[in-house]
Structure 1
Amino acid sequence: MEVTEEELTAHKVILEQGPIFVDEIKLHELIDYELPDTSWEQLQIILDSLHSFGLVRKRQTHDERVLYQARTKEIAKKLQNLDEKEFEIYELIENSERKGIAKSEIQKTTKIVQSIVESSLKSMQDQQLVKEPADESLSRLLYNNGEVDTIVVEALKSLCYNFIYHRSFPKDLEEEAIYFPAYTGYATLAKIVQCIQESKLITEVDVEDADIRQILDVLIFEGKIVRLVSGAIPDSDTMDIIDTSHDSHVMYMAKKPRAVSNAWTPTPCGRCPYFKDECTEDGEISPSNCVFYPQWLNRGISLINEPSKSKGKEKNIMDW
């Protein structure tokens, strides 16, 4: 089988997104511009085919979104020459991103015997698919006797997130306020590391940039923060994984936790202080004589009829 013209067009669209992972909902919108009337089922077939040819990577997030990132045709062509075990090793190294992975960790994770790991790595190095895996000792900060130190990691995640959060939004303004697009005062790796080094709240072991970068990668994967370059506002539909080789240009912005809601939340009933205990059909307060619901309904009608006058006034205003 060969890659079809439709699949090549879709690959081009994904490749144009750069070194980031984009979820399939966003990709559906982008690809539909080039391939009009592409159904969701057709998109899945195209993405599965591109993945089988090695032209895209895919990753699943904590909230079960599937994300895709394009590989170049040159890399995909080399991947076609790998056998199943070699490809498994390649993906493990690829997913370790910039922090690298030791040979011993490859063998432990894949359960592939050492001799095959060695020969596979040699073959991929000859094709310039991978570099020599690192065999240096594991981080003294994040690991304890070869196992992840969950107490230290969770403490660092909390400290990093709080530091980033307090530098992500303007103070003393309304809750929805954000900084202007070219703003450059967000948290940087250097500032985060400096904060942790000076606090001495987590550990006496010296904190290194590589350790904190791993913590930030976890926070990004969990959807709690995003990376920015030169103050650009990120696309919330992407996992903003970008080239961090120049840390001085990279900043981090927190995402605000989403409020828990249900089907009642957008209506007055969902926020009414009388709804649960005092509002009854035969009572003094009842659905038939509610004064709040008409306010909400009329406001909705005005938004539909005169959207330009309502622009920028998204906050619901009720009398209670």
Structure 2
Amino acid sequence: MEVTEEELTVHKIILEQGPIFVDEIKIHELIEYALPDTSWEQLQIILESLHSFGLVRKRQTHDERVLYQARTKEIAKKLQNLDEKEFEIYELIENSERKGIAKSEIQKLTKIVQSIVESSLKSMQDQQLVKEVKPKNKKLYMLFDIKPADESLSRLLYNNGEVDTLVVEALKTTCYSFIYHRSFPKDMDEDAVYHPGYTGYPTLSKILQCIIESKLIAEVEVEDADIRQILDVLIYEGKIIRIFSGAIPDSDTMDIMGTSHGSQEVYVARKQRAVGNAWTPTPCGRCPYFKDECTEDGEISPSNCVFYPQWLNRDPKEREKIPWTGELPPMDTSMYPRPK
């Protein structure tokens, strides 16, 4: 039995989402253009088939949603050569992700005898499916193509057990600046936004490339998971948002009609507005007499205000800048002595 064209199409679309788990509802939405006539029941059959071929892994959440993550075809082909016990061991190592797992823990969780565990690990190491690492002199097993957690950027974010604010803030500033300058049209009104089909919003891989090229962190090799932590903080602070957008067309996402069906996560900046109101840019917004002493028929009144002429006589271009900078020209209060 071979993988069908429909199954390969679904696998490709899940693979395009990167190293994240995607739920069934989202997958159904993503395949709408490539396989418009696929029902929910048909999708379930396709996903189950992909899982049996080792092309996807699945995980169930506490609310009973099923999530899927794609494996590469190369990995799936190697998994086809594993027997049932070897595959059980592989999945256990895979689920340990960057933490890794000790051989004793594998034996405890799988109930497989030591000799079979050892031979299975040796076989998978030979096939470059898993590898042996020794962080802090403890032998662990993890997938071949990922790095241990203590070799990641995460350890640089802490200094003596406390968050290293200098490193974190430097990364946040660089990421936000990179995203901001790709989120809004240049030399246009400040409220201008890109059209709905715009494909220039930065992806996680583009942001990672920016951090690497900036040489901001030179001590370790920075990875996707590291920068995602920083982006999650920016999302929490309300500075950026994460959305799904149409992928930039390329040979892998274009069909024979020239239509792109790819979809990917991108990041968009949110503009930080200055706090103020309609009065802020005018003299009344900062007048020391406005609230309590300025009245229509009083000694201080709008009709004899001395601050407005000061403001209106400024260069119009300077006045236009006031709403954006929050700065007003100095007020000469000596011209308007406080009444006794």
TM-score if structure 1 supplies the norm length?
Answer: 0.46
If asked which structure has higher relative contact order (CA below 8 Å, sep 6+), I would say: 1
TM-score if structure 2 supplies the norm length?
Answer: 0.44
Kindly name which structure, 1 or 2, has the bigger radius of gyration based on alpha carbons.
2
